[in-house]
Structure formats: C-alpha cells, structure tokens
Amino acid sequence: MPQWIAACATDDIDEEDVIRFDHGAQTFAIYHSPEGEFFATAGRCTHEDVHLCDGLVMGHLIECPKHNGQFDYRTGAAKRAPVCEALRTYPVKVESGQVFVQVAE
C-alpha cells in the first residue's frame, strides 16, 4: 500500500533547488520549483546511479552532477544525453509546512 511519508519542511529547500531524502532502502530527490511547487523523483540518475541531490536545478530541469544529463523533474522525462531513461516520479503534497512523498511500501 502506498503511504504518505513526511520528507522535509517546505523551508528546508530553497526555491529552484533539490535535497536528498532517504526512506528505508530508497533514496529520493525532493525539488522546490521556481513557482514554489514541490516535486519528488527517484534520487539517483538513471544513467550511472549518481545522487541527483548534488546536481543543479535550472527552472524545471535537474542536471546530474556527474555527466550533465538532464531530466524534467515534474515528469521525469530525460532531456539531455547521456540520460535516455526517464526518472521515476512520486506524488507529493504539502500540509502544514511539511512536504510529504507518496512511497510504495
């Protein structure tokens, strides 16, 4: 059953930035868009397993810190080589200043 898990406070992430969130054996990347919305994707790049939290958020793109591959973090779509495979995305909600991610248990 999917569960909503509290990942962080809304002010833990600057606008146009990303942080890492680990839950059990899973690792996620939580994004704060320039419009103030929050998104969540798998935490590692689909190309070489590198943590995306060290990458650069530019608008709605997250760039992998190792090879500069890019994803649209809203949809997970791969946007720039060397990434070809889309990133998994997760539903997010914000309640009482907390960012929740829906995680499959």
Q: Which of 15, 37, 68, 97 binds other proteins (CB under 8 A)?
A: 68
Using CB under 8 A as the binding rule, whether residue 17 contacts other proteins is answered as: yes
| Nearest by Cα to 29 from 59, 53, 56 | 53
Query: What's the per-residue H, E or C state across 14-69?
Result: CCCEEEEEEECCEEEEEEECCCCCEEEEECECCCCCCEHHHCEEECCEEECCCCCC
| Shortest reach from residue 63's CB to other proteins, in Å | 6
Query: Which is closer to other proteins, CB of 17 or CB of 23?
Result: 17
Site string for other proteins, 20-59 (x = CB under 8 A): ---------------------------xxx----xxx-x-
Residue placing its CB nearer to other proteins in the complex, 63 or 72: 63
Q: Would residue 96 be called left, alpha or beta, if left means φ above 0 and alpha means ψ between -120 and 50 degrees?
A: left
The binding site for other proteins (CB under 8 A) comprises 17, 47-49, 54-56, 58, 63, 65-68, 70, 80-82, 84
